[in-house]
Amino acid sequence: MSTIKALEKVFAATVENRLPFQSKAAIYKRLEAQGLIQPYSEINGRDRFGAIEVKGYQLTQLGMLTYCTSCTDQTRPNHGE
């Protein structure tokens, strides 16, 4: 998987307001080392065993900039044009 494709998956999870993007693929460890994504966790309520914590990744500002500048006119939607 390419770096841009991996960043796209994290970006989509953010835009669609899903839980933090979760994956155990090695590319995400490399992206974290490069500073393009960072670990992220959120508490989604409690149950009888305690807090329900969901862990995953989110884009850093560098990751967002890298992904957004990779888009070309061919990959951007027309939005009614």
- Alpha-carbon separation of residue 47 from 18, 22, 28, 54, 56 (angstroms): 21, 22, 30, 13, 20
Tell me if 79 is assigned to some domain.
Answer: no
pLDDT in tens, the chain (81 residues): 899 999 999 999 989 988 889 999 999 999 999 999 999 998 988 989 999 999 999 999 999 999 999 987 655 555 454
Q: Is residue 80 part of a domain?
A: no
57, part of any domain: yes
* Within a domain: 78: no
Task: Write the DSSP symbol of residue 23.
Answer: -
Does residue 45 sit within a domain? yes
Domain count, the chain: 1
Please state whether the predicted TM-score (pTM) of the whole model is above 0.75: yes
Give me the domain span that covers residue 51: 3-70
14 falls within a domain = yes
